[in-house]
Amino acid sequence: MADERSTLILASASKSRRRILKNAGIDFRAIAADFDETTAKNLFLQTEDKKDFSDLALKLAEGKAQSVSGDYPDAVVIGADQLLVCGGELYSKPINMDAARQHLLSLRGRAHQLVTAYVIVKNGQLLSRHVEMPTLQMRAFSDDFLDTYLHVSDEDILSSVGAYLLEGLGAQLFDHINGDYFSILGLPIWSLLTDLREQGVIKE
């Protein structure tokens, strides 16, 4: 069990994940993981006969956590990842605003899943893992709305695999959601807090 004084590290550059942890009153450091996510993802897709995207999200989250844990063996490290799946197709983050437009046109009027995973490691040892799969129903928005959305939104939406930030104007893209709100934002905080308590990182 981790000591209460153990350093907690979030192995992520995600502003959303950092904000969620900070708002929950958790004392932590944020260190971006030096992990080749694209290569790991491509290897998984090439070698796995039956695609289990929850397994992929967990593998990517653990890869990030382990890459930081090696440099900070005494720290408890959280790694997280999020995938978007629609119609059995795995989406990647849009590289520019034109790609964001194509993402949103492809998702318009359809339901998709976000596969959101985290792992907790210390000194290379896996302590906990968790995955959530909320479903989001995007509405059949007009082309005019899409133009306005992309004009008002800045390139922060490129940090989201779906090209939307639900805590902002992106909320207007949807009819409804089914699942944990924080998982949609990128970190299942309720389960994470439970795991951190069980590991002695935060108080019971």
Q: For the segment 49-103, what is each residue's pLDDT rounded down to a tens digit?
A: 667 899 999 999 999 999 999 999 999 999 999 999 999 999 999 999 999 999 9
> Whole-angstrom distance between the N-terminal and C-terminal Cα of the chain?
13
Work out the pLDDT band at 167, boundaries 50, 70, 90. confident
Work out the pLDDT band at 172, boundaries 50, 70, 90. very high
Q: Is the pLDDT of residue 111 over 90?
A: yes
Q: Is the pLDDT of residue 21 over 70?
A: yes
Give pLDDT, residue 6. 66
Catalytic residue among 27, 49, 52, 81: 81
Work out the pLDDT band at 1, boundaries 50, 70, 90. very low
CATH number of 8-198: 3.90.950.10
The mean pLDDT value of the chain amounts to 93
115 neighbors 91 (Cβ within 8 angstroms) = no
180 tagged catalytic = no
Element (H, E) at 66: helix 53-69
Distance CA 184, CA 130 (A): 14
* Average pLDDT over every residue of 149-164: 92
- Locate the domains of the chain by residue range: 8-198
165: Cα separation from own chain's centroid: 12
pTM: 0.91
